Amino acid sequence: MNPNLNHLQPYPFEKLARLKQGIVPPTDKAHIALSIGEPKHITPHIIQEALITHMHGLSAYPSTRGLPELRQSMSEWIARRFQIPADLLDPETQILPVNGTREALFSFAQCLVEPSEKPLVLMPNPFYQIYEGAALLAGAQPYFLNTTEENAYLPDFDTVPESVWRRCQLLYICSPGNPTGAVIPQTQLEYLIELAERYDFVIASDECYSEIYADENNPPTGLLEAAVAIGNTEFKRCVIFHSLSKRSNAPGLRSGFVAGDAEILQRYFQYRTYHGCAMPVPTQHASIAAWRDEAHVVDNRQLYREKFSAFKDILSEATAVTIPPASFYIWLKTPVSEIQFAQQLFASENVTVLPGSYLSRPFNESDPGRNHVRIALVAPIYECIDAARRIKNFIHTL
């Protein structure tokens, strides 16, 4: 067996199941799950209809590159959303469909990393655990960039030693961030692209929360936008990852894309051909409908805003609550350890939240997940309101 498998950590939800094991929560309070980042709003009808209408597409093997009209719909969306001139991104060579960003974020490292060079893969901490597993199974060592309140929950790239940059082959960034909701400003992205050029590494920009943001007039900036701003119009060393899971409430569709550097995507295309992960044709048609429609995305954001606002109004009576600029998470500071908080909250109020340390690693003498829990406002608003009241009551007992 691949010895690197031994380095993989249990997934956060396995740890959470163990934490809750044997506890019997009060039976008069219905369970509210705010732990998993699975959107619960309705998948728009246009997506469901397109899927059903194209069921006959199951009779054909899909191609790895996907239908030209799918890649066209993605490139038009990128141009609209990030104000990138439409002719800069060639859907023939610079976009590939993926079956959700999870598999792509994982397989990208397998394709990209050169293991004999003692490679480092840099990533934020706390983080989406796939980055770490992808690095380890690709034969690289993860190097963490702690995101703490002091640095506005953003990685501080200036603290990374030069020796680390020299060994860095791949940098994962997550903006808007899971679990903090922090957005990396465009100037930082531009700086990163310059670093990538100087030290010859690739930036994998996980932007799967880019469409869930608080200020309708201030959408999060993206890596390709930053590349264009500094004249990197071929998107050298830049690859973005986008998903319909959060944007369009379609986590079960398994649909997203990667876009950027044509040379990298050519090799990644070759990798994917062997990996065997083409997107089924009906899914492709449903995805076209989704990328072409923006109205459902605007409505979706509004639903989250209402939940954030109601949740904050109630919980602020017990503790400081900050609504993040983007994502559907609240990264709440806990008055006791995050483990104790999550366990006792479940035991007394039947509400599940995720201890921050299940999403982080101790690094450079600190663990940025400590004393935080991640609260995913995915449940319907009445449940979020109920949960806020119960968490408030619970904090008052501490």
Binding residues for ligand PLP (CB under 6 A): 37, 100-102, 128, 174, 178, 206, 208, 243, 245, 251, 256
Crossing angle (nearest 10°) for helices 338-349 and 12-20: 50
C-beta of 102: minimal distance to ligand PLP in Å?
A: 3
For residue 59, the number of C-alpha atoms closer than 13 Å in the C-beta half-sphere is: 3
**What is the C-alpha separation between 263 and 211, in angstroms, rounded?**
27
- How far, CA to CA in Å, does 227 sit from each of 27, 58, 86, 188? 54, 38, 15, 11
Could you tell me where the DSSP H helices lie in 276-361? 281-292, 295-315, 338-349
Other beta carbons within 10 angstroms of residue 212's beta carbon come to: 24
C-beta of 121: minimal distance to ligand PLP in Å?
A: 15
Rank residues 153 and 394 by Cβ distance to ligand PLP and give the closer one. Answer: 153
Rank residues 174 and 375 by Cβ distance to ligand PLP and give the closer one. Answer: 174
Write out the H or E segment, with its range, that includes residue 240: strand 238-243
C-beta of 378: minimal distance to ligand PLP in Å?
A: 10
Rank residues 107 and 243 by Cβ distance to ligand PLP and give the closer one. Answer: 243
For residue 125, the number of C-alpha atoms closer than 13 Å in the C-beta half-sphere is: 21
Is the distance from CB of 111 to CB of 267 less than 8 angstroms? yes
**What is the C-alpha separation between 143 and 371, in angstroms, rounded?**
22
Rank residues 165 and 331 by Cβ distance to ligand PLP and give the closer one. Answer: 331
Rank residues 228 and 375 by Cβ distance to ligand PLP and give the closer one. Answer: 375
C-beta of 243: minimal distance to ligand PLP in Å?
A: 3
Structure tokens at 62: 């899909």
Rank residues 13 and 157 by Cβ distance to ligand PLP and give the closer one. Answer: 13
The torsion angles phi and psi of 383, rounded to 5 degrees, stand at: -75, -40
C-beta of 35: minimal distance to ligand PLP in Å?
A: 12
Rank residues 65 and 102 by Cβ distance to ligand PLP and give the closer one. Answer: 102
